[in-house]
Chain A
Amino acid sequence: MVNRATKFSIQGLHVQYGGMYALRDLNLEIAANEIFTVIGPANSGKSTFLNSLNRLIDLEAHSRVSGMIRLDGIDIRAGLEVEALRRKVGIVFALPLPLPVSIYENVVYGLRMQGVRDAKSLDAAVERSLIESYLWEEVKDRLRTPAMNLSGGQQQRLCMARILAGQPDVLLFDEPTSGLDPISTARIEETMLVLKEKYTIVLVTNNVAQAARVGDRTAFFLMGEMIEVSETSTMFTTPADSRTSDYITGKFG
């Protein structure tokens, strides 16, 4: 891989819920403009990891986080307002969740919240982000209709557009296609491959094949520990750890 700037640098990250470790001593660097995928069975700490990157973890009542996460060299706990961090690091959840308003209002939601009033720049943001999420052609004539009328795959791309409208740096995907059919899944994956030109993408997935299809690098998590991280092609041809090969060949999980 060509040398790229480091986007996220994670050092000694521990996350506990109550007394239980969800994530243990994680050290990792994520490069700019790569698709970094995380695979692993349930309870392996994948989502915890993702939620640490935008501090959504803070909402969990009994969570305790220690260690250092830097975004572009800045400590995300001390150096940034949490709202600013979350605008830079957008997340797409497993289930598409449009807000109960129109397509247009869904996309501009974050901008309105930041106080953008100018209709022209809102229109422009809607068009740009819907084009980026490959939804524009399908919805451009019905932007004012309720977002709930879209299909599941379209809703998920709308959620991507909603994040893109805020011009983030990083996109986190938390099993974004687990509720979608194969065709919608393929569209989301295509979209990701284009988006990585502009954004850094961290993808948590239950679908090992998906990691193989889109990931530049892949990490394998198991019970709160990162077992292995390497180039995706390496991971899927010659995994270093036997547990990794057991998981990706489907012996457990």
Chain B
Amino acid sequence: MSSKRLRKLKEWWIEKAILLSGIFSVVFVLLIFLFLLREGFSLFRGESVADFLFGKSWYPISDPPRFGILPLILGSLLVTLGAAAISVPIGLAAALFIAEIAPGRLKEGLKAGIELLAAIPSVVIGFIGMITLGPWIKNLFHIPTGLTALTGSVTLAFMAMPTIVSIAEDAITAVPRQYREAAVAMGATKWQTTWRIVARAARPGMVAAVMLGIGRVIGETMAVMMVTGNAATIPHSILQPVRTLTATIAAEMGESVQGGAHYAALFAIGIVLFVITFLINGVADLYLHRSRR
């Protein structure tokens, strides 16, 4: 009887401990968000939200300072779209190949390689992008600098790829074997089975993979700061230097006065980023849950 009670007590403790860890992780996120809000919102005492979001110039240290982040938003958008255009088709095709076509040993090798790619620190990828990709793009297009939005896109595509490939590959592998068998038994070729049954059944997971990959790209700072040229102007082509939201925070936080308008503006950028990634992860989550249903 007493051992039963002891066990019950133990269960109770374990349950509460897990509950507490869960609550903590949510509370931390909320606190971070509140901190961002508190620091960022002081900017809007002197600045309108519209001027901040749609202002065309970012001159934080001139007099009077201008805090328009439209160039930064466009910079982030351009780099992200470029990276997505490169990494999504290649990543999904690689996932299909690994999950469906590659024979045993090749499959293991590729999976290990992709995981290795995920393990490369972003500063190293940025460094490689800066010294190899930059000059190459400069010579290829005959432009004054190789540090452009395109360079950033290509570099970031490498960083999004592991996320996209591994999550999409999981989703494809999770398609029940019986679907494949049913299709093949009806006379479908390998390609018809892969394309019409497997890819369709795995679509929610593949969408989630893409969203998470893009989420990674938007949040990336170090590599993008090194290769995009960091010019806070509205870009007119992908071959111009741009500056992203993240790079702006990283580059300027050190030189802003704590509590000042510049400082608050950087936090406000943080809020914008937070909202963007929150939305992207939300969409990904939606699709992941749909795929489990």
Q: How far is the CB of B254 from chain A (nearest CB, A)?
A: 53
Residues of chain B at interface, number, CB under 8 A: 16
- A72-113 residues with Cβ-Cβ distance < 8 A to B are 83-87, 90-91, 93, 95, 97, 99-100, 109-110, 113
Binds A, one of B1-9, B87-95, B180-188, B259-267: B180-188
Secondary structure at chain A's binding surface: helix, strand, loop or mixed? helix
Looking at the complex, which one of B176, B179, B186, B189 makes contact with A162 (CB distance below 8 Å)? B186
Report the interface size for chain A: residues with CB under 8 A from the other chain.
23
Alpha-carbon distance A12/B188, docked complex (angstroms): 29
Distance between Cα atoms of A114 and B184 in the complex (Å): 13
Is there an interface contact between B187 and A86, defined as CB atoms closer than 8 Å?
yes
Checking A85, A97, A110 against B179 with a beta-carbon cut-off of 8 angstroms, the contacting residue is: A97
Contact partners of A95 in chain B: CB under 8 A = 178
**Total residue contacts A-B, CB cutoff 8 A:** 50
Q: Does B258 contact A (CB under 8 A)?
A: no
B16 sits at the interface (CB 8 A): no
Q: What chain B residues lie within 8 Å of A87 (beta carbons)?
A: 186-187
**Is B201 among interface residues, defined by CB-CB distance under 8 A?**
yes
A99-B197, A113-B192, A113-B196 known; A86 vs B186 contact (CB < 8 Å): yes
Residues from chain B with Cβ under 8 Å of A86 in the complex: 184-187
**A54 interfacial by beta-carbon distance below 8 Å:** yes
In the assembled complex, how far is the CB of residue B282 from the closest CB belonging to chain A, in whole angstroms? 24
A188–B183 Cα gap in the complex (Å)?
Answer: 22
Is A224's CB within 8 Å of the partner chain B? no
Q: Is the CB of A83 within 8 A of B185?
A: no
CA distance in complex: A93, B183 (Å): 12
Interface pair A109/B187, CB less than 8 Å apart: no
Give Cα A100–Cα B178 distance, bound, in whole angstroms: 12
Interface residue from A83, A99, A100, A159 paired with B187 (Cβ < 8 Å): A83
**A163 CB within 8 Å of chain B:** yes
With A100-B201, A113-B192 known as contacts, the answer to whether A56 contacts B184 (CB < 8 A) is yes
Residues on B with C-beta less than 8 A from A109 are 183, 186
Residues on B with beta carbons closer than 8 Å to the beta carbon of A84: 187
8 Å CB interface, B110-153 against A: none
Q: In the complex, are the beta carbons of A99 and B182 less than 8 A apart?
A: yes
Contact bitstring A33-65, B, C-beta under 8 A = 1, else 0: 000000000000000000000101001000000
Contact call A110/B178, Cβ cutoff below 8 A: no
A107→B178 CA distance, assembly (Å) = 17
B187 lies within 8 A of A93 (CB): no
- A114–B181 Cα distance when bound, in Å, is 17
Interface code B215-243, partner A: CB below 8 Å = 1, 0 otherwise? 00000000000000000000000000000
Q: With A59-B184, A97-B182 known to touch, is A83 a contact of B201 (CB < 8 Å)?
A: no
A176 CB-CB contact with B under 8 Å: no
A220–B235 alpha-carbon span in the complex (Å): 77
A166 at the A/B interface (Cβ < 8 Å)? yes
Residues in B neighbouring A113, C-beta threshold 8 A: 186-188, 192, 196
Complex Cα distance, B186 from A97, in Å, reads 13
Interface centre among B184, B189, B196 (most CB of A within 10 A): B184
* Contact, CB under 8 Å: A83 / B182: no
- Find the B residue at minimum CB distance from A110: B186
Q: Across the two chains, which residue of chain A brings its CB closest to B104?
A: A61
Q: How many angstroms between the C-alpha atoms of A109 and B196 in the bound complex?
A: 10
B181 x A99 contact (CB < 8 A): no
Residue pair B182, A166 in contact (C-beta under 8 Å): no
Q: How distant is B180 from chain A, measured CB to nearest CB, in Å?
A: 8
Asked if residues A56 and B179 are in contact (CB atoms below 8 Å), the reply is no
On whether the beta carbons of A163 and B179 are closer than 8 Å, the reply is no
Find chain A residues with CB under 8 A from B183 CB. Answer: 99, 109
Nearest B residue to A174 via CB reads B185
Chain A contacts of B188 at CB under 8 A? 83, 110, 113
Q: Which residues of A contact B196 (CB under 8 A)?
A: 113
Q: Give me 7 other A-B pairs in contact (C-beta within 8 A), A56-B184, A97-B179, A99-B182 excluded.
A: A84-B187, A86-B184, A95-B178, A97-B176, A113-B186, A163-B186, A166-B187
Q: List 8 A-B contacts (CB under 8 A).
A: A59-B181, A86-B186, A90-B186, A93-B181, A93-B182, A93-B185, A110-B188, A113-B188
Residues in A lying within 8 Å of B, measured CB to CB: 54, 56, 59, 83-87, 90-91, 93, 95, 97, 99-100, 109-110, 113-114, 159, 162-163, 166
The 4 closest A-B pairs by CB, nearest first: A87-B187, A86-B187, A110-B186, A83-B187
